[in-house]
């Protein structure tokens, strides 16, 4: 006959009580023949999620609000409305940074490229590469998107705030990162994926 043992922790002063409901019916709780964590109404702890699970997800949306234009050759934030603040649960996990636009904008001349990138608002890019670029030239109203996956070590485990940035390769020309004429909507997303 197998046995049931109740074992208290070696440390801690809290008291856990097993309490039955007020009922006149006999009930039997059958334990599964496997190790694991008992789930409660408090939800599934992130530590119990299998690899590949999304353990955190936050996002920001910028609705059509007029043209957001610029001509900087260094990265400039599109809008503070696209900021997402995020604190990792476990630095061994991965962070997925994503952005998408329903309309990526347009460029005033044929010699300019529009670059889009999700960056830390305090520390700049997590890597040196650019997530996406648009161009060259003319009017461009097609959707654009980009995705970057970084490790917890790159993130550093600290609380970060990320946002969408843009720049051009020709600071003498103007680009429009959010074209109101096309009812553009921009979206920044941050997910933590269990390793």
CATH number at residue 103: 2.60.120.760
User: Is residue 27 in some structural domain?
Assistant: no
Residue 110 pLDDT: 62
User: Is residue 7 in some structural domain?
Assistant: no
User: Is residue 119 in some structural domain?
Assistant: yes
User: Is residue 14 in some structural domain?
Assistant: no
Say if residues 144 and 123 touch (Cβ distance below 8 Å): no
Say if residues 102 and 183 touch (Cβ distance below 8 Å): yes
pLDDT digits (tens, 9 = 90+) for 85-119: 999 999 999 999 999 877 655 566 667 777 788 99
Q: Which residue segment(s) compose the domain that 161 sits in?
A: 50-193
Provide the number of structural domains found in the chain. Answer: 1
User: Is residue 188 in some structural domain?
Assistant: yes
CA-based nearest residue to 88, from 100, 80, 77, 96: 96
**Which residues face 190 on adjacent strands?**
58, 97
For the chain, give the percent of residues with pLDDT over 70: 81
User: Is residue 29 in some structural domain?
Assistant: no
Mean pLDDT of 132-137: 67
User: Is residue 145 in some structural domain?
Assistant: yes
């Amino acid at each position: 006959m197998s046995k049931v043992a109740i074992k208290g922790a070696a440390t801690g002063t809290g008291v856990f009580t097993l309490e039955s409901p007020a009922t006149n019916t006999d009930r039997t709780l059958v334990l599964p023949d496997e190790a694991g964590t008992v789930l409660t109404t408090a939800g599934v702890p992130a530590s119990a999620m299998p690899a590949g699970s999304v353990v955190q997800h936050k996002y920001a949306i910028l609705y059509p609000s007029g043209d957001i234009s610029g001509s900087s050759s260094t990265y400039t934030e599109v809008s503070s409305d696209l900021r997402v603040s995020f604190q990792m649960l476990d630095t061994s996990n991965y962070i997925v940074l994503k952005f998408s636009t329903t309309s990526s904008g347009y460029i005033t001349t044929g010699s300019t490229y529009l670059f889009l990138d999700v960056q830390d608002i305090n520390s700049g890019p997590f890597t040196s590469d650019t997530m996406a670029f648009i161009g060259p030239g003319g009017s461009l109203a097609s959707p654009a998107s980009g995705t970057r996956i970084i490790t917890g070590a790159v993130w550093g485990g600290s609380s970060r705030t990320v946002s969408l940035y843009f720049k051009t390769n020709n600071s003498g020309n103007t680009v429009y990162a959010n074209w109101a004429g096309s009812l553009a909507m921009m979206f920044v997303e941050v997910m933590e994926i269990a390793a």
